[in-house]
Amino acid sequence: MALAPGPLWEREELRAVAGETLRPGGFELTDRAADYIGLVPGRRVLDIGAGLGATVTRLRSRYGAMAWGVEPSAAQLERADGPQGLIRARGDRLPFRAGTFDALFCECVLSLFEDRPGGLAEFYRVLKPGGFLVLSDLCATGPSLGGGASCADRAAPLDRTVRLVRNGGFAIELLEDHSAHLRDLAARLAWTAEGVSCGCGRGLSYFLMIAQKQGA
């Protein structure tokens, strides 16, 4: 019996097309966010669901940030093989003290959380007052896509994510549509890896959101 393929983000076909950033937009969106929040050397940053550690390396090398990443998948950490600063942990159970970070990046990961309000509460806890949350993710533009395990299956409508973030104690400073990056990734996957899809044809878009922690 053939083994079922793992999730898309653990497949070499995605890495071959997307490189080390396993999501639409790659470093273009990471840099857009880092520039927007004015990231400067020495700032403490955590990448949630760091995958192969590409964003951690980028934030260290280009911005001089003190960046770490958490990633729960042993398979991903094994594939990462190199980047410093990756810790095995889930994004909704962060092994850090309250108020540790100036910024959190969560790129194409929140849709995978079982408990999103709990995850947002954890983000709020580990951020300093006024700290930034950078979120990019898929969102559903139509009716529910079903209860599967992929990012595409689990994507929420954008207005639900906006409510979640605001109810979590954040003010949204920037919200941009970057669906062109999703279409581009889907097209490149379809072109190079037959039968592998990121689900772009199923009523999905892609957004970048930057929110700031309110209160103490």
Ligand X SMILES: C[S@@+](CC[C@H](N)C(=O)[O-])C[C@H]1O[C@@H](n2cnc3c(N)ncnc32)[C@H](O)[C@@H]1O
Please tell me whether residue 189 adopts helix, strand or coil conformation. helix
Identify which of 209, 117, 114, 213 has the alpha carbon closest to the alpha carbon of residue 158: 209
Question: By the 8 A CB rule, do 149 and 7 touch?
Answer: yes
Q: Among residues 17, 23, 65, 104, which is the contact residue for ligand X, using CB under 6 A?
A: 23
Backbone dihedral angles phi then psi of residue 113, each to the nearest 5 degrees: -70, 140
Residue 67 to residue 102: CA distance in whole angstroms: 10
| Count, residues near ligand X per rule CB under 6 A | 22
22 binds ligand X (CB under 6 A): yes
Enumerate residues 6+ apart whose C-beta is below 8 A from 161: 110, 135, 137, 139, 207, 209
DSSP-assigned beta bridge partners for residue 109: none
Closer of 117 and 130 to ligand X (Cβ): 117
Closer of 14 and 37 to ligand X (Cβ): 14
Mask of contacts with ligand X, 61-90, x by CB under 6 A?
A: ----------xxx--x-------------x
9 binds ligand X (CB under 6 A): yes
Closer of 35 and 129 to ligand X (Cβ): 35
Shortest Cβ 158–ligand X spacing (Å): 18
Closer of 149 and 171 to ligand X (Cβ): 149
Within 10 angstroms of residue 13's Cβ, the number of other Cβ atoms is 15
Identify which of 33, 30, 28 has the alpha carbon closest to the alpha carbon of residue 50: 30
Q: Among residues 24, 51, 85, 131, which is the contact residue for ligand X, using CB under 6 A?
A: 51
Supply 174's token pair.
């920037």
Q: Between residue 93 and residue 112, which ones bind ligand X under the rule CB under 6 A?
A: 107-109, 112
56 binds ligand X (CB under 6 A): no
Q: Between residue 129 and residue 158, which ones bind ligand X under the rule CB under 6 A?
A: 151
Residues in the site for ligand X, rule: CB under 6 A?
9, 21-23, 48-51, 54, 71-73, 76, 90-92, 107-109, 112-113, 151
